[in-house]
């Protein structure tokens, strides 16, 4: 920082370089999302509030500015969920800044008191067991690349991991034993160990034994074709590649298949199998059971739709008489009340 840096610039730098990654252990994706939120806010302040970015001070980080920004953000197409994510970043910074410099504590408390708008319930996008089997088993295992793709897709589903968790996994995190597991580094730099199926463990072991017999435990478990760390974009490309292949022969195969859909699918399939919601929470690495409840709500909606489809074939809908239009009857009922 330079001698001309504002108090806001100093705080924001410490927030992103020390507080989020080191003290709170936030993931790279979360930090990137928070960074985008502040870029949008500062650009808005510069263009619409005439506050130059170079002169932006903590006192300018006000409740009024943020409310105006969020309104502008929604008017320009942002969903309530997206706007709430921006607000979460601002509140996190406000809480941090209050402890670092109490001179602006009153205005920062006003930021913390901004209420989030209730976002509509989001639908859970997932694949049926049949469709998931189609895409996982699509890659052949007779070449290095296709075998690698099969391992990636299988692990992405069977471990229920986030794609970035899979990309970070090392060979030493994989254990093929009587109970096979994989250790995942999740949000908040917290590890969790999840059980994977025997079939998945055998597939991964065969892949490692065939192509990486001398690999170190510190090497990445999945890699790109150049044997370097795989990134999220690479996994997305692989999913899209095989989904498009399937659609050539099966136009009904779902569109817009994405990485997180594998995680959603695993959760929904576990729920359908009658697995306890608490275990699903721990398996997915959710810190709060309320996050896992979205799958239960989705499951209940699907059950309600299924029940209605079955019942409508048996229980017919009757056109009941509207008694409110029967004046004689209504007068009779009213008279009963007067007796």
Q: What is the pLDDT of residues 107-153, one digit of tens each?
A: 999 999 999 887 666 678 899 999 999 999 999 989 999 999 999 99
Identical fold, 7-112 and 129-308: no
- pTM for the complete prediction? 0.66
Question: Does the pLDDT of residue 321 top 60, yes or no?
Answer: no
Q: Is residue 194 pLDDT above 60, yes or no?
A: yes
> Which CATH code of 1.10.3470, 3.40.50, 1.10.10, 1.10.150 fits the domain covering 7-112?
1.10.150
Helix (H), strand (E) counts: the chain: 14, 3
Checking if the pLDDT of 217 tops 90, the result is: yes
Reference 267, options 120, 148, 162, 121; nearest CA is 162
User: Under CATH, which number does the domain 129-308 receive?
Assistant: 1.10.443.10
CA angle centred on 259, ends 255 and 265, rounded to 5° = 80
pLDDT for residue 204 = 96
Q: In this prediction, what percent of the chain has a pLDDT beyond 70?
A: 86
Q: 327 pLDDT band (50/70/90 cuts)?
A: low
71-88 pLDDT, tens per residue? 999 999 888 889 999 999
Residue 285 neighbours by CB under 8 Å, 6+ apart: 162, 184, 186, 187, 190, 192
51-60, 207-216, 296-305: least confidently modelled range = 296-305
Residues 239-247, mean pLDDT to the nearest whole number = 96
Q: How far apart are the first and last CA of the chain?
A: 86
Helix then strand then coil, in percent of the chain rounded to 5, is 65, 5, 30
- Residue 163, pLDDT score: 94
Residues 33 and 75: their CA atoms lie apart, in Å, by 20
Under the banding of pLDDT at 50, 70 and 90, the label for residue 295 is confident
Cα 43 to Cα 10, 50, 56, 83, 94, distances in angstroms: 18, 10, 11, 16, 19
Q: Give the residue, 25 or 192, on which the prediction is more confident.
A: 192
Hey, how many other C-beta atoms are within 10 angstroms of the C-beta on 65? 19
pLDDT value of residue 190: 85
The answer to whether the beta carbons of residues 132 and 265 sit under 8 Å apart is yes
Res 59: pLDDT: 94
Phi, psi of 195, deg, nearest 5: -80, 135
Domain-wise residue ranges, the chain: 7-112, 129-308
Whether the predicted pLDDT of 102 surpasses 70 = yes
Q: What is the dihedral of CA 53, 58, 63, 66, to 10 degrees?
A: 30
* pLDDT greater than 90 at residue 322: no
- pLDDT value at 220 more than 90: yes
With 70 as the cut, is the pLDDT of residue 308 above it? Answer: no
Task: Say which DSSP state 192 is in.
Answer: E
**Statement: residue 62 has pLDDT above 80:** yes
């Amino acid at each position: 920082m330079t001698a001309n840096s504002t108090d806001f610039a100093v705080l924001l730098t410490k927030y992103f370089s020390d507080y989020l990654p080191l003290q709170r252990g936030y993931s790279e994706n979360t930090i990137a999302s928070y960074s985008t939120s502040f870029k949008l806010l500062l650009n808005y302040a510069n263009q619409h509030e005439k506050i130059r970015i170079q002169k932006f001070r903590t006192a300018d980080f006000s409740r009024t500015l943020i409310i105006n920004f969020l309104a502008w953000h929604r008017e320009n197409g942002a969903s309530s969920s997206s706007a709430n994510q921006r607000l979460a970043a601002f509140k996190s910074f406000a809480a941090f800044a209050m402890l670092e410099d109490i001179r602006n504590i009153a205005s920062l408390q006003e930021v913390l008191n901004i209420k989030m708008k209730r976002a509509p319930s989001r639908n859970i996008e997932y694949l049926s067991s049949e469709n998931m089997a189609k895409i996982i088993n699509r890659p052949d295992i007779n070449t290095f690349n296709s075998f690698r793709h099969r391992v990636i897709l299988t692990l992405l589903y069977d471990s229920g991991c986030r794609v970035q968790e899979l990309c970070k996994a090392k060979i030493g995190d994989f254990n093929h034993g009587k109970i096979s597991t994989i250790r995942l580094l999740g949000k908040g730099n917290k590890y969790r160990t999840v059980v994977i199926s025997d079939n998945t463990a055998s597939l991964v072991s065969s892949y490692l034994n065939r192509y990486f017999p001398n690999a170190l435990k510190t090497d990445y478990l999945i890699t790109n074709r150049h044997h370097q760390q795989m990134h999220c974009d690479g996994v997305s490309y692989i999913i899209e590649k095989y989904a498009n292949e399937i659609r050539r022969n099966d136009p009904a195969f779902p569109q817009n298949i994405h990485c997180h859909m594998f995680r959603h699918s695993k959760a929904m399939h576990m729920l359908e199998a009658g697995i306890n919601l608490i275990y699903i929470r721990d398996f997915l690495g959710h810190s709060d059971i309320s996050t896992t409840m979205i799958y239960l709500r989705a499951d209940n909606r699907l059950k309600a739709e299924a029940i209605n489809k079955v019942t409508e074939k048996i229980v017919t809908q009757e056109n009941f008489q509207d008694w409110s239009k029967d004046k004689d009857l209504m007068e009779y009922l009213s008279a009963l009340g007067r007796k």
